[in-house]
Chains A and B, each alone.
Chain A
């Protein structure tokens, strides 16, 4: 596999760009810790998340929230000009996969098409003389459930069910950074994604990632434009191609087009991320990486191409055909149908989404919060005392990995932190609140276990309450419900175990 060879040219450039974006992503995730960075906003990478942006447009019913994803809308606009370059150059998960692939033992080989499969491809692509048409190879089309998953996510979005925690690589990586810094949840999901490199270098990206599928579909629009419009594109000069198949084997995404295409000009595959691996591998210089129509890089016999040998940008050349889906209409409709069925099952069997859970201030409307929260864990990173912990499966799939306020871990200091969680949330899931008029929950005292009610000198709850909400009659505390904000300092510090005073969600 060419990826095992010493990186050259475009490969080096791409690795540097990927490393820079990953470093920025991790640095910003770390910078979300209190006090969160305000410029550049620590959540700017999370607002570059295309599928989260589309989700917010469909489900959140707030233009303000959708507009906060403006970096993602810019990205989607650029992608619409031609290729899902985000996946090859920017995506932190893609970078992790590439890095994992680079350290993978050589003995463990990727799945690669056999020689006869490659010959088969070529045969199918070999057109009759005089025609520019080629048969779309079916190849591993069955390996592309990403479109089904994308459809699922979007259908669920219509029902305001947020599944981005498995659909968005940004959310997945941000959660992982958080979990790595505060080891509380097994990092099973990303481990599975990374483990798949033993099968294909970018198995997640080429076959499963709904976000990548979305970008691929968006790039379809731009395939009609001349290549000079595209930010990055791989272009082919078929006259120089010797059909050696190296490009096809080099592609992490299994795109056959650099190999099979007979069309001069840029590739039209929805899965081409313009990463340039094929360009770097081509010994003949038949492939080039173009930026806005200008050749940035050609490997092999440099100069074999002439500057004018770019028919797609020349007047009078045939219009390039639209990019093709690696999924049939039947598959697509089937996906939507299956999504609807799963949605019904999810809604029926997976717990009561209205059942109140103790959350941070500004998240007391449970159904609104569930619809908006992407489970990216940014708020948990930002919380100064560390009061927020991701929920498990116990309250249903719908609440999986949503941040729960756990007073026993640490009381909430909303009156002191200017709502750090709200400030870093990229999805508008946490509303701004007035610290003077905030109620998260209500403390309830268990007199049977309370030390004070058993005659001991304690009153730690009264000592700790910042809101003067614990009244003491002698040694016996009681909760003043009108003053209690549910901040949980009492539950955090109660000397008994389990605590004799606990904060309950408002009903």
Chain B
């Protein structure tokens, strides 16, 4: 994994681009929160959603015109990376911290007093060695970093897949790790948990509506912390695929079109940060295994969740073009599929 990006100018340009995307995303989160609030009036929510959606686009355009500065604004300091790859194995939590630090630290994404939702992959009952759930050490470090950045509430959540939700979080170790680091754990289970707030997907071409859990809708910051692994139907399960677990009606997305649906969902919830756990990965019979694993010993972090997923593909001997939802998300302009155009930090 060499960093092909040496051109300073291009790097600065791409840094600006990613900052612009970040701010647009924050705007979007405001929209989502508002959408969640009005969704009680179910008749209105569709119409309002599209109206506010237009407003968001206007705001985004304005943000783009004002051309914000690079996140590490201090003159002379090295520009923070847009995609950080922490390699070399060891404690996966330490890798996650190194990667986020290379992006400028968690304070870039989490402001004091904010509520953070961390969507982990806690869907399966096996421990970290199986490569099916996010490594507990990564979860603990991400929670700790949010706490250090001054977050008032940190919520670790997933809609689990196999067996009772509480059992999943207990057996894969994610629940205990999250709690001991200072997070609340909100676990959902079953085919459709029956909960969630119905919202329209304004930019969706496959997924028109879905029901998002309020803990995600009401959060100020959303961080997706997936386990990178093989997946039977999606090819690979990465940061965007991980987002299916913020929906209550998760079966429906398979009915419409899984790949485009994932991209649509990502366009709706737009995580502010993606931290892909590739410490130990399942390489076949995914997503739940049991199956062969390998240990790349890598954690990837980026505010550009498309780029993070795109990079993670290479760990499986694949490219982004092999994974439908990454391609679809790139086509929708949700992020940079060609991560080589970003400032990549190998740490």
Residues on A facing B (Cβ under 8 Å) = 384-385, 410, 413, 415-417, 451-452, 456-460, 462-466, 468, 472, 475, 489, 492-496
The answer to whether B233 touches A475, judged by C-beta atoms less than 8 angstroms apart, is yes
Given contacts A492-B191, A493-B191, A495-B252, contact A459 B233 (CB under 8 A): yes
Main secondary structure of the interface of A (DSSP, over half): loop
8 A Cβ contacts from B162-177 to A: 162-164, 167
Main secondary structure of the interface of B (DSSP, over half): loop
8 A Cβ contacts from B253-284 to A: 254-255, 257-259
Neighbour of A413 across the interface among B163, B234, B255, B290, CB < 8 A: B163
The answer to whether B252 touches A456, judged by C-beta atoms less than 8 angstroms apart, is no
Inter-chain CA distance A459–B244, complex, in Å, is 14
Given contacts A463-B288, A492-B191, A495-B255, contact A457 B233 (CB under 8 A): yes
Chain A to chain B: the 7 pairs with minimum beta-carbon distance, closest first: A457-B258, A459-B232, A495-B251, A459-B233, A493-B191, A457-B233, A458-B254
The answer to whether B161 touches A464, judged by C-beta atoms less than 8 angstroms apart, is yes
Report B177-198 CB contacts with A as 1/0, cut-off 8 Å: 0000000000001110000000
Q: Which residues does chain B contribute within 8 Å of A452, judged by CB atoms?
A: 233
Tell me whether B296 is interfacial, beta carbon within 8 Å. no
Tell me the count of chain B residues lying within 8 A, CB to CB, of chain A. 26
Given contacts A451-B254, A457-B258, A468-B290, contact A492 B163 (CB under 8 A): no
Neighbour of A410 across the interface among B190, B232, B254, B258, CB < 8 A: B190
Inter-chain CA distance A451–B258, complex, in Å, is 11
Given contacts A457-B234, A458-B233, A472-B232, contact A451 B255 (CB under 8 A): yes
Given contacts A466-B125, A475-B233, A495-B251, contact A456 B258 (CB under 8 A): yes
> 29 interchain pairs (CB within 8 A)?
A384-B164, A410-B190, A416-B167, A456-B254, A456-B255, A456-B257, A456-B258, A457-B234, A457-B254, A457-B258, A458-B233, A458-B254, A460-B251, A460-B254, A462-B232, A463-B231, A464-B161, A464-B288, A465-B288, A468-B285, A468-B289, A472-B233, A475-B232, A493-B191, A494-B251, A495-B251, A495-B252, A495-B254, A496-B255
Tell me whether B131 is interfacial, beta carbon within 8 Å. no
Q: Which residues does chain A contribute within 8 Å of B127, judged by CB atoms?
A: none
Interface centre among A417, A460, A475, A496 (most CB of B within 10 A): A460
- Min CB–CB distance B141 → chain A (angstroms): 27
- Considering only CB atoms, which chain A residue lies closest to B124 in the complex? A466
- Considering only CB atoms, which chain A residue lies closest to B190 in the complex? A410
- Min CB–CB distance A42 → chain B (angstroms): 19
Tell me whether B202 is interfacial, beta carbon within 8 Å. no
List 10 additional contacts besides A457-B234, A463-B233; criterion CB under 8 Å.
A385-B164, A416-B164, A452-B233, A457-B233, A457-B324, A459-B233, A463-B288, A475-B232, A493-B251, A494-B251
- Min CB–CB distance B129 → chain A (angstroms): 17
- Min CB–CB distance A467 → chain B (angstroms): 10
Q: Which residues does chain A contribute within 8 Å of B167, judged by CB atoms?
A: 413, 416
Tell me whether B303 is interfacial, beta carbon within 8 Å. no
Inter-chain CA distance A271–B9, complex, in Å, is 99
- Min CB–CB distance A18 → chain B (angstroms): 38
